[in-house]
Amino acid sequence: MGRGSDRREFLKRGAVAGVGLMVGRGAPADGAVPGAGRAGGDPSYAAGFAAAALERVRIGFVGVGLQGGSHVENFLRIPGVEIVAICDVDEPRAREVASWVTGADRPAPTLYTRGETDFKRLCERDDLDLVFNATPWRWHVPVCVEAMTAGKHTAVEVPAAYTVDGCWQLVETAEKTRRHCVMMENCCYGRREMMILRMVREGLLGELLHVEGAYIHDLRAIKFSDRNEGLWRLEHSISRNGNLYPTHGIGPVAQCLDINRGDRFETLVSMSSNARGLRLYAEKTLEAVDPRVRDYALGDMNTSLIRTANGRTVVLQHDTTSPRPYSRINLVQGTVGTVTGYPDRVHIEGQSEGHGWEELEAYRERFEHPLWEKLEREAEGAGHGGMDYLEDYRLIECLRAGSATDMDVYDAADWSVICALSETSVAEGSRPVEFPDFTRGAWKSRAPAAMGG
């Protein structure tokens, strides 16, 4: 289906439905009980799955819109990668991105453009190692499960899933097929985030007590646009109320806390403000008869509190519908000091003056992460300040080395499940909901993420 028909379909459904579309309402769309664990598990996989080393990594892309296309550009610059297939429902876009591959003097990738489930034909190929999934959210789980079942590793954009059941499907399929399922949380490779991780690991902040993260990004224009995310992101705001995009905020601070690797998220409570931003924006910018001039379920500011098994606390926020400058907050607080982003500042007891902040930059020479030291030049100009290049580089490096990936399916499930848990908590009066333990106890002894350093 092309973009035009996607758009018509949205308007039609929006006009008649008035309530939840395919994405469910309030509680998780699959009706699963948050906190419920599942039997089974594979301790040998959970200990840190590593597949056989690959000399080169042959990639099939599913979804080459803005973010998928940006990954293709990165992979054309990373040694040991071949892009052998591209699938997208938008054929002109698939052709455009394929032309970048041939333009780099590489063989033309095979195109799969026969509709929404044509990714199945791509997954059947026997000359693919990795299926890279940068589709809209509702396709994340179906494409990953199909790819792993067909014997391919998979990498998926964020969030990996937005229901509890979807998260379990990823974990169970990865364990059963013994394939990688990596969620591409690029913010874990941000220059500030990696520097903070190093500060934490070298003990500069003391014992960690509390972290804060967020996705505060005014997406109103994008949500009402006639292209790209405008074709699919708005529908999630119609019926869902919670944190729809938790992983940029939670990923980096979860790594500082060694979540799934010595600690784990245990309980979450969440509340949302009134929903005003989208309706006001629609009233200002659209004709009154446009079905998108309507009420939206998504509260403008959603705030969740999380407590970990080891007694640390997290504040996590989501706001994509307000006139507020961009921030992921990115605060890490310990017994000796605190570091935060937006703007980047640090306070270390005994080093910083009085109760004031110092600029984080003053610590760069001592704490720059080795991966940034190594790749700064190559990453220049790549997506999101270069961090996308580092995450793509590390994915390939791990697959070629036959090592565990920096982030694995448990991280993907645990960071993504906040979508569903926050929706449940908001819908049920901000009651505490429990995180499933996707690792089934292995979190106590799993090794910290390598992160190339």
Ligand X SMILES: NC(=O)c1ccc[n+]([C@@H]2O[C@H](COP(=O)([O-])OP(=O)(O)OC[C@H]3O[C@@H](n4cnc5c(N)ncnc54)[C@H](O)[C@@H]3O)[C@@H](O)[C@H]2O)c1
- Minimum CB distance to ligand X, residue 1 (Å): 8
Strands 110-112 and 81-87: parallel
**Bridge partners (DSSP) listed for residue 327:** 216
Our CB check for ligand X shows the closer of 197 and 199 to be: 197
Distance CA 217, CA 99 (A): 32
Q: Do the Cβ atoms of 111 and 87 come closer than 8 Å?
A: yes
Our CB check for ligand X shows the closer of 143 and 282 to be: 143
Residues 375-399 as b or e (16 or more Cβ within 10 Å = b): beeebeebbbebbbbbbbbbbbbbb
Our CB check for ligand X shows the closer of 86 and 442 to be: 86
- Minimum CB distance to ligand X, residue 160 (Å): 9
Our CB check for ligand X shows the closer of 65 and 341 to be: 65
187's tokens: 């913010």
Distance CA 170, CA 146 (A): 10
Distance CA 387, CA 393 (A): 10
38's tokens: 């599942």
Our CB check for ligand X shows the closer of 67 and 302 to be: 67
**Bridge partners (DSSP) listed for residue 434:** 267
Our CB check for ligand X shows the closer of 54 and 76 to be: 76
- Minimum CB distance to ligand X, residue 271 (Å): 24
- Measured CA to CA in angstroms, residue 175 lies from 51, 291, 402 at distances of 12, 44, 17
- Minimum CB distance to ligand X, residue 55 (Å): 28
- Minimum CB distance to ligand X, residue 350 (Å): 37
Distance CA 223, CA 200 (A): 37
Residue 212, classed as helix, strand or coil, is: strand
Write the CB contacts of 77 (distance below 8 Å, at least 6 apart in sequence): 378, 389
Q: Closest residue to ligand X, Cβ-based? A: 65
- Minimum CB distance to ligand X, residue 117 (Å): 7
Q: Do the Cβ atoms of 278 and 240 come closer than 8 Å?
A: no
Neighbours of 423 (CB within 10 A): 32
Our CB check for ligand X shows the closer of 264 and 328 to be: 328
- Minimum CB distance to ligand X, residue 440 (Å): 27
- Residues in contact with ligand X by CB under 6 A are 62-68, 87-90, 93, 116, 119, 134-137, 139, 157-158, 186, 228-229, 231, 384
Our CB check for ligand X shows the closer of 291 and 385 to be: 385
- Minimum CB distance to ligand X, residue 95 (Å): 12
Q: How far apart are the first and last CA of the chain?
A: 43
In the block, residue with structure tokens 């708005």 = 234
